[in-house]
Amino acid sequence: MELKRVVVTGLGAITPLGNDVETTWTAALEGKSGAAPITHFDASKFKTQFACEVKGFNAADHIDRKKLRQLDLYAQYALVASRQAVADSGLEEAPNLDRNRVGVIVAAGIGGLHTFEEEAGYYALNEEKGPKYNPFFIPKMIADIASGHVSMEYGYHGPNYGVVSACASSNNAIIDAFNYIRLGKADAFVTGGSEAAIFPAGVGGFNAMHALSTRNDSPETASRPFSASRDGFVMGEGAAILVLEELEHAKARGAKIYAEVVGGGMSADAHHLTATHPEGLGAILSMKMALEDADMKPEDIDYINVHGTSTPVGDVSEVKAIKELFGENAYKLNISSTKSMTGHLLGATGALEALFSIKAVENDIVPPTINHADDDLDENIDYNLNFTFNKAQKRTVRTALSNAFGFGGHNATVIVKKYEGD
């Protein structure tokens, strides 16, 4: 069976760097940090009092009041970013669009955490009166519901579900959509991820695990992947959505093509509840499988958008994995962690970093890893690798590989390349 080719025809984003794709991308190239003191709640008594929040987003500007009652913040981000991506793709203007062959897969690692907190708190305050819950409690909270709302928005009847694999979730969603299309089971997918967990349970829970940076005196420099003084990740929020489309379907309607999706790999560390394998074995397997899926060799990759969370163990293990798999070619490619600017968007992080990889391929420029000082060196990291520290670098980016790893040992890798016609 000959596999179909899959291209990216639409992009949408609500992020800590901006509320659309171009604002986000420009800020990333300029090396701006999205970190600042938390405003979603009073975090003054928390160990971590800052995060990479979405700024200036008013859902009422985009969604009518009746609809808003049904949407947790994570679903609001997903719906608005999906509208951006679909509009960007021009998919709705396609002649004779078969909505039975357009699917939606929007991932979330946690889902409606804010809704859960609100409802649990309400019950605790009203025990004497008996349980009384909002009828939208469950459908607002569940992690698949953003995908459902997007499908209802457009009447897309193709495969529709959410993916939950912690911080690998949206890479898994992209890979699933990619596979449906290339197997001929769909013409297009709206896919990606969304997350909004910067609330007491999210911050408090990650604090209890000692996972978050506590650099409260300097939030904007707290996410510092590959630096010796890194002390944990910075929580982010938002959504990134892609429209993936079968090549001939896109060409027939004259769609703009950003890049081609050519491979996906998935693996499990089978090692620890939260920590990556110290030798990066799962990461190696995931990247290797993606390369094999794309019929590529390590020397074919120009840029890796790493998972790079700014955690002591995770950064080292990913560097080991890259060196092991890519060998001498590891020193010829660019590496960067855009989490240094956006923070860690949990279930949405893979989609945002895939979007950055697509923009890098489109524009031949690699966004930086910010917040690194030349004297802040970790003896376990090889600084002969090009981590694209502090400043974006222009280079030919024919292909880009994007990693996402999640609690539970989930690993997922996506590869995109320049679209070169037939």
Residues with a catalytic annotation lie at: 167, 307, 344
CA torsion angle 244 249 254 260 (round to 10): 40
Are the C-beta atoms of residues 106 and 193 closer than 8 Å to each other?
Answer: yes
Distance CA 248, CA 337 (A): 34
Phi, psi of 417, deg, nearest 5:
-145, 165
User: Which residues contact residue 71 at a Cβ distance below 8 angstroms, ignoring those fewer than 6 apart?
Assistant: 59, 63, 79, 140, 149
Are the C-beta atoms of residues 59 and 51 closer than 8 Å to each other?
Answer: no
157 CA to centre of own chain:
25
Distance CA 414, CA 175 (A): 7
Are the C-beta atoms of residues 191 and 105 closer than 8 Å to each other?
Answer: yes
| Helix-strand-coil split of the chain, %, nearest 5 | 40, 20, 40
User: Which residues contact residue 302 at a Cβ distance below 8 angstroms, ignoring those fewer than 6 apart?
Assistant: 333, 334, 395, 396, 397, 398, 399, 400
* Structure tokens given for 364: 């031949």
| Size of the chain in residues | 422
Going by the DSSP 8-state scheme, the letter that residue 237 receives in this structure is -
Nearest Cα neighbor of 346 from 210, 171, 179, 104 is 171
Distance CA 207, CA 209 (A): 5
Are the C-beta atoms of residues 174 and 240 closer than 8 Å to each other?
Answer: no
User: How many other CB atoms are found less than 10 A from the CB of residue 1?
Assistant: 6
